[in-house]
Chain A
């Protein structure tokens, strides 16, 4: 019997694992079918999930964390079942800002977070930057990046929520100087002549968790076959997606009217890492712009939950220790392990790690031998120990 799951998604490139699981047949292999609902906003996504309108959600990783800190709406807990992808966002500056930065001698390399951040701060004015949601890696990485370079937040930095479809307009109207958002919105702004790509967020932290698949607490336990099928289908879809030769096909499928409804060429940029970065037609490549599988990318590291909990607590003046504990409890490494053991997925022995210590892909102990983790450096070389 095929189990039908109602899945909420936002039309972004990183909805790919869900879409591919359904379209390439990984879901069918697990006797599940994904019934997609395009959701208009992240707050609606959270509420639909809480109220049972959808079974699982394509969700910004910090939303379930914020929810566990009491920063949600409807009462109740969410579980993060797995990570869908690492990185996949880009920072775009307005044409005016780009002109000023160029005049000051900055060369848009789309790679060096240190140089890009210094050039931005060098403009010497309060920076207003749009993000898609107050609890998002977009917001956390922006604060982290610019604070590490000496900018005094919040005085010199105003991070505000602007719905992605309105970002380009806000940029053109001068309401914001820059925005950080998931692809293809950055490329769309470049295409329409409204902005210039400054930096992929992978340059700030190259293993930053981005979207997760989330469910109401208790949903996964209520029908383990259904939850297991979903996790296995997503894992296989991620592995498929991280084969470079599949990325073109993935773009074709994602571009369809049912999903992103955009020209394939635009969707393909993020998947291949080949960007047109300015309306003048500059071209840059970003290695590992978005990762769906490699380096145990789907494992819901509790240390990454802890990092988000710590950052939100710091920003909003909440108790740091309590916030970290609450955040970790949301990341269900137990469920992930239980459901993926059967298909030879690489499962690290530890559920958390010190973030920011690996310069190169590194082998660490796994349940069955060894698993290769990706380099996980922060751009400024700092280290986050979730136990400290």
Chain B
């Protein structure tokens, strides 16, 4: 069996799904389909009979795929999580990137490797983007809170903007807390008193 490998991507976010498919389709070597998560995942897999299933480690639906490992009907093909015994780091980097691959029994490791490599690099990009997004969001929120706290101090104590920030920073340093935490306490307290 050296035909096109069929790959099923389990991903509920259409944007991410498209990026994974793009990352894999170099040379048109694979037949790729996508399903979004649902309680009927095992049924989808049984119907499409893919050679490889790619799924996010964070997805609780992964457990449904474990059922397939013990599929015992005459038409069922045993599927197992892909582990390259000759290359432990591949499995490790897959888990770290957050992707797991389930493959049918007997598929050679060298045919899976490029798929997994491509998936790992995509997932690493997702992970980086997620971290970046979270960091930016947090920074923005912190700045908003600090601005509000400064405004409260300026009004209540007749300080300049610089003096208000200085007071926040001094309080934070004296109490071993972060400026944004002090600002947040002040905003909360002011809300309660108003």
**A residues apposed to B, CB below 8 Å:** 40-44, 47-48, 51, 53, 71, 73-75, 130, 132-134, 160-167, 169-170, 173, 175-176, 316-317
Contact = CB atoms under 8 A, between A and B. Distances in A.
B13 interface: no
A73 B92 contact: no
Contacts of B72: 316-317
Given A132-B63, A163-B63, 20 more contacts: A40-B62, A42-B63, A43-B63, A43-B100, A44-B62, A71-B69, A74-B91, A75-B85, A130-B39, A133-B63, A133-B66, A160-B42, A163-B61, A164-B60, A166-B38, A166-B39, A166-B61, A170-B40, A175-B40, A316-B72
B57 A40 contact: yes
Nearest to A169: B39
Contact of B95 (A48, A173, A175, A176): A48
A163 B60 contact: yes
6 pairs of A and B residues whose beta carbons are closest in the complex: A163-B60, A170-B39, A73-B81, A166-B39, A41-B62, A161-B67
A166 B61 CA distance: 9
In this complex, which of B39, B62, B65 has the most chain A Cβ atoms within 10 angstroms of its Cβ?
B39
Interface in B29-82: 37-40, 42, 57-67, 69-70, 72, 80-81
Contacts of A75: 83, 85
A44 B91 contact: no
Contact-residue bracket for chain B? 20 to 34
A43 B42 contact: no
A34 B64 CA distance: 29
Contacts of A44: 57, 62, 100
A43 B81 contact: yes
Contact of B39 (A51, A74, A175): A175
Interface of B: 37-40, 42, 57-67, 69-70, 72, 80-81, 83, 85, 91-92, 95, 100
Contact of B83 (A74, A173, A316, A317): A74
A43 B39 contact: no
Contact of A166 (B60, B80, B83, B85): B60
Contact of B63 (A161, A169, A175, A176): A161
A366 to B, nearest CB: 38
A42 to B, nearest CB: 5
A47 B81 contact: yes
Contacts of A169: 39
A324 to B, nearest CB: 19
Given A41-B60, A42-B63, A173 B39 contact: yes
B81 A165 contact: no
Contacts, number: 81
B81 A162 contact: no
Query: Which of A41, A160, A162, A164 has the most CB atoms of chain B within a 10 A radius of its CB?
Result: A41
A134 B67 contact: yes
Contacts of B57: 40, 44
A73 B68 CA distance: 13
Contact of B67 (A41, A160, A165, A317): A160
A47 B63 contact: no
B70 A51 contact: no
8 contacts: A43-B66, A48-B95, A74-B81, A160-B42, A163-B60, A163-B62, A165-B60, A166-B38
A316 B59 CA distance: 27
A169 B61 CA distance: 13
A43 B59 CA distance: 11
A57 B125 CA distance: 29
B58 A40 contact: yes
Query: Which of A73, A160, A165, A175 is most buried by chain B, counting CB atoms within 10 A of its CB?
Result: A73
Contacts of B83: 73-75
A40 B59 contact: yes
Contacts of B67: 134, 160-161
Nearest to A45: B63
Contact of B91 (A51, A160, A166, A176): A51
A129 to B, nearest CB: 13
A71 B60 contact: no
Contacts of B92: 51
A75 B85 CA distance: 8
B187 to A, nearest CB: 21
A175 B64 CA distance: 14
B135 to A, nearest CB: 20
A161 B70 contact: no
Given A169-B39, A175-B39, A162 B64 contact: yes
